[in-house]
A and B are shown apart, each in its own frame.
Chain A
């Protein structure tokens, strides 16, 4: 078999893993499946695109790329700003919608509301940016042979490196800092978290900010290596949930490893059973995990 699927799967898995961190955090801390999470991915990508446009407008003319990548410094700056804005958007969505329902509703009401929010955000995106696919760059990059039979473009390698940095940072945050420990505490037992002095509301806010920002990072990655479309986040939703559940809800390393497994499985499905069935792989994995080990790889039995 062509080992290229490993490179493709790794890249796809890195994107899914980044997005799944947000899913797993909101799921474990707020106790509901947020189906609007995919829209944070989409809005992160479009936000970056819009900010790059603004930077280009302010500077006038071309800004050269950073060799050997297809993008220049505006994308990095725009990505950072868009990540912050997407985090704030997630926070605003919580303030306007979820926090009101949380006070009185049950999990299923929140899930349904997130479906609604997802559709509204996606339509809003189509309204502003149209449904035409957009690209950060139309340049064609040459893939470099990194291992026998395995090729990657410099952009793709950058993305994998970036994912590794973000995931390591997240892992350190969760295990070494008071914020991370507090997030784990709220996820395990919100009432006890309050008793030990943790302001649960501020932890919820931090969770939305972090989840939204990481989703935006996944969106930018997806935009660079594939394209930017209003449905890009929604199409990623199932793999995101599959990864989060596979890794064990609440576990950051779990989400990333789950993402890599889903990404590699999808990539492997292409040569084995055909590209048409690629999307079904995440589904099949999800069902298999729920049947065999519902708590996931790193999950703890409640």
Chain B
């Protein structure tokens, strides 16, 4: 069901904002505005006049938004955070996902719930993606390090590749260290030996 709510996303992370925007549009929310530029945020929000605002929890501009709840001649409509006493579970899920939500005072909770759920799940999905990417990068880096350590052993001790790997593996096991830690130590030591 299309909904005429105007939703504002304040996120300096363009990729994540796009993922959220797409999700909201697919769900029938056509009026979605993304703000990445934080300059004069309050003024922009007054101009955009949103019903719902989502902001990245890491953004210091959260404190700027909080000012809007106060009696202020610069803002026509006070905005209040979307949570009531009975719904601390929702705020907890949002904060765990890394997003804060604000809505215009008086908006019915049932209208907001699906939007908030969508936002939380998209933020979570993005975080999962990021973690997986970071994990993949780390694994790649580790493999490169081990390859380099192997190469150093092969040339310094005239070993075959298989022998170098076996030496690495055994020494790591004897020292009770991770293979990559030992590899890193070997690479660092070899780099130190190089003429400066």
Q: Do A and B bind each other?
A: no
Listed in ascending order, the chain A residues whose CB lies under 8 Å from chain B are none
Q: A-contacting residues of B (Cβ < 8 Å)?
A: none
